Amino acid sequence: MTTRSWQVRAGLLPVALTGALALAACSGGGSSSSTQSGAAGKTLVIDTSFDLKTADPGRTYEPTGLIVDKATYDTLLTFEGSDVTKPVPSLAESYELSPDGKELTLKLRQGAKFADGSPVTADDVVFSLTRVRDMKGTPSFLLDGVEIAKTDDTTITLTSKTSNPALPYILPNPALGILNSKAAKEHGATNDPSDKAEQYLNSASAGSGPYTIESFNVSSQVVLKANAQYWGAKKPYYDKVVIRNVESATQKLNVQRGDSQVALNLSGDQVAGISGGLQVKRTTSAYVFFLLANQDSGVSKVTSNPKFVEAVRKGIDYPGLLELAGEGSTQASGIIPSMFLGALPADQAATRDVEGAKAALAASGVTDPTVKLEYPSELTVNGLSFQPLAERIQANLKEVGITVELAPAPVTTALDNYRNGKEELGLWYWGPDFPDPSNYLSFAPGKLVGLRAGWKAGADKDVESAADKAGAAVTDDDRKQAYTDFQQKLNATGPFMPLIQPGQNIVTAASVTGVEYHPVWTINVADLGAK
């Protein structure tokens, strides 16, 4: 995530600020409930806590925007349901990665049409992807260093300077949706920062997806309507989809009384009391909570001590953190989420060893240490706040002989200290930019998150070497082994302690079918139907 998210590069803050960012514009049933009753079951109402800035695929990278753009724009490749292990064709009917991982060749599907009925062409693809890369919007980093060329009318070639086996996993991102270049250019679209098409793309659909935009309001609701020109074999079931901005407590009320059919932001505690024939889709999310111990002795001589880090790692009660997270959550064995290639198996997760932690602390030479734990005070992730996790960690480490002073702060303050590597101990989380393990090489020494933990290049040659090998691996088998090795070394000597992956709870009316959680776009509206 270059500029999308605070925890990675600039701004995923939205996923979690469900209270602070969810406006009250749609409290109660909201104005769209009458639409549902008037559509004889062909209107779907989805309640979520908005993190939404735009519907322009060249600029969007917020969770709600990705839901909208997944419904309105097709990408070259996609994923089937919740399976992120293998990209599958969409606008491209096939693809092939060169043996060195530097060249990706895609054959375009024939017969795909935009919402205005015009055909999707190779020129549209080249313009759309070049626009994302060169306009320097939030998702531009997805195609950094990638050259985009039209080989012929049905073939696109993407060329990277270095091995880039993650590219097929990046292309399904809705930010890389293919625009009707002719329509977009008529409304100010360019492939450089002078682009002025955002206003148009917030009010109309220039894509080939199963839905189009009927209305768009970043603070209240987005209304989608079925695309009559949709080219795919599976036509959208619902004539209209209303996505509303509703805080989580009201989401629960609305779905229970039938004012909505889908609620996306309920915590484990909230869904525990769900009744009335509703369906609850419980799964583990791709977010990973982690603890960092700063390795810069100028920040802390205590946390930069390797034996102190060992004491912290062994002193945490990981199952106790899971109790706080609720159903659907799981312990994180490594920094790569459990559903991604290269994830460590559950039996390699850290375990608590209080006596071992005390021994490591004694070996550190640090007597009665006191350290400060920083984290965002108002942030929640899938209904889970940082405060109870921090309090549990504080209590765990007290048993070891470590005094932890809790230092919650507003996101802007905590984020500044985190980004600038000023925290002694930090409690944060990471959400994926794309479902590929290469997104987690940022935790190596000298890389983005490594530097946030004061872990400079050269600090751990074994981990750096493992990271280099993982980044260069091309085949699935080689990559799986390389990323496993990288995480094992990271867990053994690194300053990061993977903690938990919280649960993702999606509540729906009994009639709704096709609900699958996806770590990039949450749900695919086009997959939803009724029984």
Please state which of the ranges 29-43, 54-68, 86-100, 406-420 shows the lowest mean pLDDT: 29-43
DSSP 274: -
Rounded mean pLDDT, 290-302:
98
Q: What separation in angstroms does the CA of 460 have from each of 8, 143, 388, 490?
A: 21, 29, 32, 9
Contact between 155 and 110 (Cβ < 8 Å)? no
Given a cut of 60, whether residue 526 has pLDDT beyond it is: yes
Q: Does domain 288-501 have CATH number 3.30.43.10?
A: no
Indicate the CATH number for domain 13-282+505-530. 3.40.190.10
Quick one: pLDDT at residue 51? Answer: 87
**Where along the chain do its domains lie?**
13-282+505-530, 288-501
Rounded mean pLDDT, 120-143:
96
Closest CA to 503 of 270, 343, 336, 313: 270
pLDDT digits (tens, 9 = 90+) for 468-515: 999 999 999 999 999 999 999 999 999 999 999 999 999 999 999 999
pLDDT digits (tens, 9 = 90+) for 422-480: 999 999 999 898 999 999 999 999 999 999 999 999 999 999 999 999 999 999 999 99
Contact between 82 and 92 (Cβ < 8 Å)? no
pLDDT digits (tens, 9 = 90+) for 142-176: 999 999 999 999 999 999 999 999 999 999 999 99
411 — pLDDT class (breaks 50, 70, 90): confident
Q: Which residue has the tokens 């205590």?
A: 302
6 — pLDDT class (breaks 50, 70, 90): very low
Please state which of the ranges 20-24, 248-252, 302-306 shows the lowest mean pLDDT: 20-24
Contact between 222 and 196 (Cβ < 8 Å)? no
Q: Which residues of 422-442 are buried (b: 16+ CB within 10 A; e: fewer)?
A: bbbbbbbbbbbbbbbbbbbbb
Quick one: pLDDT at residue 158? Answer: 98
Q: Which residue has the tokens 């970043």?
A: 218
